Structure 1
Amino acid sequence: MRLLRAAPLTPSHVIITGGSSGIGLALARLYLERGASVTLIARSAKRLQEAAVLLGNGPKLGHQSADVADFQALTAAIAAAESQHGPCDLLITSAGVVRPSPLQAMDVTEARTQIETNLLGTIHAAKILWSGMADRGGRMVFVSSGAAFIGLHGYAPYCASKAALVGLADSLRQEAAGTRLGISICFPPDTDTPQLAAELPLRSPEAEKLMGRVAPWSADDVATEIDRQLARGRSEIHFGLTLWFLARFGSLARPFIYRFLAAR
């Protein structure tokens, strides 16, 4: 496992895209409790306000409404966040969209939204903050998914976008070499979030066979594990033996998994 040595372990200003719910919200709570300033960025102003209430609406909490797929809007939101709470030294890109559908029935607009949010949204945030964080020091954490390691029936745009984050993180680590910036990526399993609740009714029986009916992790447990492994210097964060195995040996195991499913 590769180790990070560039980023501070105790952030002063954390910017979290997709911070109004789920894993992003849980991470916001964790870092606020530790005394960091936190800025949430999400599309819905209403949901941001609701999240702020849940987090206590303290002076160290800020929120900015922006779609991460809109580079100009995200640039303005991040500029406002740094103006309010100072330079960012921990970026967490938790904004993500999933809308299961087989290709034949897929709405291409929804497919585009998944790619733009999950992949381009991360690229946008990283680009905006890259120069300052590379000079000052800091860490970027990209929230991918266990779906990055295996193709799932009905999840083509989602799997593609989450797998693309692996290549993105690997490439940006090369660009960050010699700077004070570290790049991490994490691969959460199913997590008990509003997004999962909306996703499950759309999940196909074929996907269910592969993914099984394992109880989802809580968002707080995922956030705690991300923080724990970041503190240990991990640049790749896995959750459980199955996802670790797929990350390490998926290229060997996937053909057998697919043949088994086809036979069933």
Structure 2
Amino acid sequence: MHVIVTGGSSGIGLAIAKLYAARGARVSLLARDKARLEEARAEIAMLPGVDSAFIRTASVDVASAEQTTEAVRLCEASFGPCDILVASAGIVEPRAFDAMPASVFDEQISINLLGTANAVRAVYKGMKSQRSGRIMMISSGAALIGIFGYSAYCASKSALAGFAEALSAEADAWGVQISICFPPDTMTPQYAREIALRPREAEILMGAVKPWSAEEVAARIVRGMDRGRQKIHFGFSLTALAYFGPLIKPLLLWWFSRKARKIFGDEAHSGLADAGKQSFDRDK
């Protein structure tokens, strides 16, 4: 069995790669950072019973269709056709929309959405010809509801849900299984960076949520794929939001809006009062 994991150098992708490697699968890791890829390869090779010859790495920017196609071609030349693709490569840079440069917005769309599509495209024809294969797209709990400061991330991750659903309608007749999962906050190197960038307003509105470990998330994803599940959710709140969103979201969004108006309204009022005082002082 050949498993290809994009974003496989760290976080959820690496944790999933470890689980499949421990089963004896041939694993190909795709990511941008060569040094981190080698570190990931060494970590997997240290697992009991894992043959380092069955681990391959490829430095690639999944936002490039050409790079991704070529990397997958080389991996398949070494380990045979891809049986399982886990599209885990992703990036998040939370900022208020009007403070987010277009380049930062575009990068999140390019990697999270187009990068997933590029990886899927690179293996899909081969899976169709074999009439078998499994594809897992890693979305996010942020796909289920809009979050302050996450306009690009929510847009890119929610778009994956539509992509997975539409592709599943095409792939089913060919024996190719399309799945998607919606992980919660997860302890990864990227999460640490995200928290450092998260706007204060988002912290106030969202409150403190204990993140899952990458190993917990990976185990649920692999277990769900083994069972042929098309959608995988995590925790009571996100599962309820996924299944009862039309009923729950209006109340949640109303509450967020009310809280935001109170927080920002007080700040705006304070700011206007300070500005007025300064103007009055200058006129005296």
TM-score bracket for this pair, using the shorter chain length: over 0.9
Scaled by the length of structure 2, what TM-score is found? 0.87
1:90 maps to a residue whose letter is I
- Whether 2:81 is the aligned partner of 1:124: answer no
Is residue 134–residue 179 contact of structure 1 (8 Å, CA) maintained in 2? yes
Give, in whole Å, the separation in 2 of the partners of 1:98 and 1:117.
Answer: 10
Is residue 101–residue 202 contact of structure 1 (8 Å, CA) maintained in 2? yes
- SS, match of residue 177 in structure 1: helix
Give, in whole Å, the separation in 2 of the partners of 1:63 and 1:72.
Answer: 17
Q: 2:13 aligns with which of 6, 13, 24?
A: 24
Structure number having the greater helix percentage:
2
**Residue of structure 1 equivalent to 2:257:** 262
- SS, match of residue 69 in structure 2: helix
Give, in whole Å, the separation in 1 of the partners of 2:228 and 2:81.
Answer: 22
Percentage of matched positions with identical amino acids: 49
**Residue of structure 2 equivalent to 1:165:** 160
User: CA deviation digits over 1:102-143, x for unaligned, max 9?
Assistant: 011102111111000000011111111111112211100000
**Residue of structure 2 equivalent to 1:114:** 108
**Residue of structure 2 equivalent to 1:6:** none
- SS, match of residue 78 in structure 1: helix
Is residue 6–residue 89 contact of structure 2 (8 Å, CA) maintained in 1? yes
Is residue 135–residue 180 contact of structure 1 (8 Å, CA) maintained in 2? no
**Residue of structure 2 equivalent to 1:7:** none
Q: CA RMSD in A?
A: 1.1
User: CA deviation digits over 1:46-93, x for unaligned, max 9?
Assistant: 111111111127011000011000111111100000011111000000
Superposed displacement of residue 253, structure 1: 1.6
- Whether 2:203 is the aligned partner of 1:214: answer no
Give, in whole Å, the separation in 1 of the partners of 2:236 and 2:166.
Answer: 26
Return the structure number with greater relative CO, CA threshold 8 A, min gap 6. 1
Give, in whole Å, the separation in 1 of the partners of 2:134 and 2:172.
Answer: 13
Superposed displacement of residue 212, structure 1: 2.7
- SS, match of residue 58 in structure 2: strand
Superposed displacement of residue 210, structure 1: 4.2
The unaligned stretches of length 5 or more in structure 2 are 47-51, 260-284
- SS, match of residue 182 in structure 1: strand
The unaligned stretches of length 5 or more in structure 1 are 1-11
Is residue 177–residue 228 contact of structure 2 (8 Å, CA) maintained in 1? no
Between structure 1 and structure 2, the one with the greater Rg is 2
- Whether 2:27 is the aligned partner of 1:38: answer yes
Scaled by the length of structure 1, what TM-score is found? 0.93
1:18 maps to a residue whose letter is G
